[in-house]
Amino acid sequence: MARYKPQDRNSMLLAVVLSEQIVPGSFAFALDYLVDNELDLKAMDAKFKNDEVGASAYDPRVMLKIVLLAYSQGLISSRTIEQACQRNVQFIAISGDSQPSHAHIAKFVCSLSDQIKPLFSQVLMTCDAQGLIGREMFAIDGVKLPSNASKERSGTHEELRHRADRLEKAADKILALHQTQDKQGLEQTQVLEPKRQTQMDALRKEAARTREFLSTTPKRIGSKGKELKSNVTDPQSAKMATSKGVMQGYAAQAAVDSAHQIIIAADVIGSGSEQAMLLPMIEQASPYRTPDTLVTADAGYHSDANIAQLMAQGIPAMVADNQMRYRDERFAEQDKYKGKPDPLSEKKATGQEQEVKRFGPKDFSFNDNNTATCPAGKLMTSAGTIYLSSRGLHYQTYTAKEIDCNACALSGQCLKGPIKPNYGRGRQVTRFVPKPKDTANPSERMRQAIDSPKGRQLYSQRFGTVEPVFANIRHNKRLTRLNHRGRTKVNTQWNLYCMVHNIEKLSKTGMGQHKTQ
């Protein structure tokens, strides 16, 4: 019979030097060196007045190390961080076995609201000193993150008022049902009463909370004067459409340098529209931007007003518009890569007629002599008159002959129904006349620049600059949800994660290792 080495899993007394658990070249080593030697945390020290009286406090340097190290490993909950400080050797080493509670950790993160921007700037200064900021191109983009808020509690003031009415009616219905059963003398009445009372209290409490919110919170008005939806749980968050449905949260913003993917500026906005964040993000990045630094952004930041401001300030920029990909022949077949719709969503009942996809204007060929050719090859004519639509666009209408449409084999794909006898005409199609290009218009000049071969080559670098940064934060650091409420606290958490990303870049330069040699 085989014999093996003995195994002992009982308690052992091991000599552990905590300082040696922070290995040079690791994120923890760079973080420890950065906080102790590069960052100025005197403003945090000034908050404490316990030099003579009062209990001792946790060192803010230690707390900052704990939080940033936890975020780098995907630990976001304060209770999970507390457990790591008690069981994880690396956390025990970097904190000097301080073991703060989850309440102290959560309170510390919330207290960083006033200090987060100076801390972020100091980390950037260290990155710049290490030569990690190239200043050739800044890529601005955003990522939508759900927050600690319920989207069911979101709506306009009228919608929220209607929800409060429904909650109260539901509570009244429970009470009426209970009274009816009580009169009938049912035996189960006394058993069900505590449960029903709890339901009634919860419904009335939620209704009262909603009405209090309506009485104390003004309506949110958008840039176009239309009322925006408010959220009772987190009024500064917003409902946002994503590829996976509608969520309640914030749009986190980042400006990333193309040289080593250092985040130059970070912010959040409680709105799905990012146009208002373009100029503020450029302003935040101004300490590291030169007159030759190219700023790139996607179509979410495009507006005529933004482009005009960029040109007026002389800022080199490439901001795509919604039609950029349609003008680029490289994306001509992009539709074939889109995910197919759920077959169940288009499934019809047995015997029900399937929906026919009819020919649109793009299926017709338009000629220069006021004629057009339909998909069946028949000629369509126009009087040559060009009309002005309500949108300020000029258009021209082409008409087919009634006899051609009646005898056409493709009429089922073209007409909504049979043509009435003696109707006088067949299918009509309208072509909008393209607006003449104004070369002096800032937006038109931007389109020409971004459509040029050099512009396409420069703009394509934006994808490889900013998208890997969001992938690192969301996937590697597991920031899939913001666990704070209010833009100030959410912005603090987002900036901390951006700092983690930048410190990770610093750790790869070997920061602080010369001190150990």
Cβ neighbours of residue 184 under 8 Å, at least 6 residues apart? Answer: none
The amino acid present at 399, given as its one-letter code, is T
Whether the per-residue pLDDT at 186 is higher than 90: the answer is no
Q: Same domain for 454 and 325?
A: yes
For residue 167, how far is the Cα from the chain centroid? 32
pLDDT of residue 12: 77
Average pLDDT for 355-369: 84
pLDDT, the chain, mean: 88
Q: Same domain for 118 and 174?
A: no
Q: Domain range spanning residue 195? A: 157-218
Cβ neighbours of residue 295 under 8 Å, at least 6 residues apart? Answer: 137, 138, 140, 282, 289, 310, 315, 316, 317, 318, 319
Q: Same domain for 445 and 315?
A: yes
- In the three-class reduction of DSSP (H, G, I as helix; E, B as strand; rest coil), residue 238 is classed as strand
Q: Which residue has the higher pLDDT, 505 or 517?
A: 505
CA distances from 188 to 9, 199, 308 (A): 56, 17, 72
Q: Is residue 240 part of a domain?
A: no
Q: Same domain for 448 and 326?
A: yes
Whether the per-residue pLDDT at 224 is higher than 90: the answer is no
Whether the per-residue pLDDT at 346 is higher than 60: the answer is no
Average pLDDT for 164-183: 83
Q: Same domain for 305 and 451?
A: yes
**pLDDT band per the 50, 70, 90 thresholds, residue 332:** confident
Q: Is residue 276 part of a domain?
A: yes
Of 73-87, 189-203, 322-336, 337-351, least confident by mean pLDDT is 337-351
CA-based end-to-end distance of the chain? 51
Structure tokens at 294: 């190219």
Q: Is residue 498 part of a domain?
A: yes
Q: Same domain for 123 and 176?
A: no
Q: Same domain for 176 and 121?
A: no
Q: Same domain for 30 and 177?
A: no
Q: Same domain for 123 and 163?
A: no
Question: What is the Cα–Cα distance from 107 to 279, expressed in whole angstroms?
Answer: 32
Sign of CA dihedral 442, 443, 449, 452: negative
Q: Same domain for 304 and 445?
A: yes
Q: Same domain for 30 and 126?
A: yes
Cβ neighbours of residue 466 under 8 Å, at least 6 residues apart? Answer: 139, 140, 141, 254, 256, 261
pLDDT of residue 179: 74
Q: Is residue 453 part of a domain?
A: yes
Domain count, the chain: 3
